[in-house]
Structure 1
Amino acid sequence: MSAPGLGRPFWTLFVSSTVSNLGDGIGRVALPLLAATLTRDPLLIGSLSSFVFVPWLMFALLSGALVDRMDRRKVMIAANLFRSVVVGGLAVAVFTEQAAVWMLFVAAFILGAAETLYDSAARAILPGVVRRDQLAAGNGRLESGEVVAQNFLGAPLASSLFVLVAAGPFLANSAGFLLAALLLLLLPGSHRAKPAADAPVARPNLRREIAEGFGWLWGHRLFRPFVLVAAFGAAAVEGATALIVLLIIDVMALPEASYGFFALVLGVGGLIGGLTTPVLLRRFRRRTLLVVSQAAMGLSYLLVGLAPVPVLAAVTFFLAGVSVLMFNVVSMSMRQAIIPSHLFGRVQGAWRTLAWGMLPLGGLLGGLLARVTDVPTVFLVSGGVGLVVAVILALLLKARGQEIDELDDSDWAELRGATSAQAVADDLPAPGAGLAEIGGDPSEEAPAAAQGEKRPIGEAAGAQVPTP
Structure 2
Amino acid sequence: MTTLAVEKHHWGSRRFLGIPAYRRLLATRLASQWGDGLFQAGLAGAVLFNPERQADPLAIATGFAVLLLPYSIIGPFAGALLDRWDRKKVIVVANITRAVFVLLTAGAVGAGLSDLPLYVSALIVMGIGRFVGAGLSASLPHVVPEDHLVEANALATTAGAIMAVVGASCAIGFRTILGAGDGGSGWTTSIAIIGLLTSAFIASRFKPGVLGPDEVDEPNNAFMAVARGLLDGAKATWRTPSVTAALAAVLAHRAAFGISLMITLLLMRYSLEDVGILKAGIGGLGEVAVAGGAGVLLAGILTDRIVDRFGVTRTICGALLLSAAAQVGLGLPMTLPTILAASFFVIFAGQIVKLCVDTAVQHDIPDEVRGRVFALYDTLFNVAQVTAVTITAMVVPLNGRAPALMLAAAALYFVGLAGFLTLSARKRQVQHSGLVRENDSSHSIG
Q: Distance in 1 between matches of 2:263 and 2:104?
A: 26
Give the C-alpha shift of residue 150 in structure 1.
Answer: 1.6
Mapping for residues 1-400 of structure 1, pairs under 5 Å:
2-5=13-16, 7-36=19-48, 37=50, 38-49=53-64, 51-95=66-110, 97-151=111-165, 153-165=166-178, 166-190=185-209, 191-195=211-215, 203-204=220-221, 205-206=224-225, 207-208=227-228, 211-221=231-241, 223-224=243-244, 226-228=246-248, 230-253=250-273, 254-371=280-397, 374-377=400-403, 379-393=405-419, 395-396=421-422, 398-400=424-426
- Describe the shift of the 1:34–1:101 C-alpha distance in structure 2 as closer, same or farther (beyond 3 A): farther
> Secondary structure of the residue that 2:213 maps to in structure 1?
coil
Q: Distance in 2 between matches of 1:341 and 1:256?
A: 42
> Contact 1:68 / 1:342 at 8 angstroms: preserved in 2?
yes
Shift of 1:91: 1.6
Please give the alpha-carbon distance, in whole angstroms, between the structure 1 residues aligned to 2:371 and 2:271: 42
Distance 1:58 1:398, change over 3 A: closer
Q: How high is the TM-score relative to the length of structure 2?
A: 0.83
Cα shift readout 1:347-368 (whole Å, capped 9, x = no counterpart):
2223333333222211211211
Q: Distance in 2 between matches of 1:364 and 1:102?
A: 18
Q: 1:305 to 1:275 in 2, by over 3 A?
A: closer
| Gap change, CA 1:247 and 1:50, over 3 Å in 2 | farther
CA, structure 1 residues 99+284, in 2 after alignment: closer, same or farther (shift >3 Å)? Answer: same
Which amino acid in structure 1 is aligned with residue 199 of structure 2?
Answer: A
Could you give the per-residue CA deviations for residues 71-95 of structure 1, whole angstroms, max 9, x where no partner exists? 1111111111111111111222333
Report if the CA contact (8 A) 1:80-1:180 is conserved: yes
Task: Kindly state the Cα deviation for residue 247 of structure 1 after the two structures are TM-superposed.
Answer: 1.9
Q: Counterparts of 1:98 and 1:372 in 2: how far apart (Å)?
A: 24
- Which ranges of 4 or more aligned residues in structure 1 deviate by more than 6 Å? none
Note closer, same or farther for the CA distance 1:356–1:100 as it changes in structure 2 (3 Å cut).
closer
Root-mean-square deviation (Å)? 2.8
Q: Which moved more, 1:172-181 or 1:381-390?
A: 381-390
Quote the residue 1:421 is aligned against: none
Deviations along 1:227-272, one digit per CA (max 9) or x if unpaired, are 3454343222112224423222322132432321221111111111
Q: Aligned partners of 2:103, 2:390: CA distance in 1, in Å?
A: 27
AA at the equivalent of 1:175: I
Q: Shift in Å at residue 392 of structure 1?
A: 0.7
Give the SS at the match of 1:84: helix
The structure-2 alpha-carbon separation of the partners of 1:384 and 1:213, relative to structure 1 and needing over 3 Å to count, comes to: closer
Q: SS at the partner of 2:61? A: helix
Per the TM alignment, residue 11 of structure 1 is displaced from its structure 2 partner at its CA by 0.8
- Percent sequence identity over matched residues? 20
Q: 1:257 & 1:210 partners in 2: Cα distance?
A: 39
8 Å CA contact 1:57–1:352 kept in 2: the answer is yes
* Residue in 2 that maps onto 1:439: none
Whether the aligned pair in 1 keeps the contact of 2:243 and 2:357 (CA below 8 Å) is no
Give me the whole-angstrom Cα distance separating, in 2, the residues matched to 1:317 and 1:54. 24
Q: Which runs of 5+ in 2 are unaligned?
A: 1-11, 179-184, 274-279, 440-446
Whether the aligned pair in 2 keeps the contact of 1:67 and 1:117 (CA below 8 Å) is yes
2: CA distance between counterparts of 1:459 and 1:276?
Answer: 29
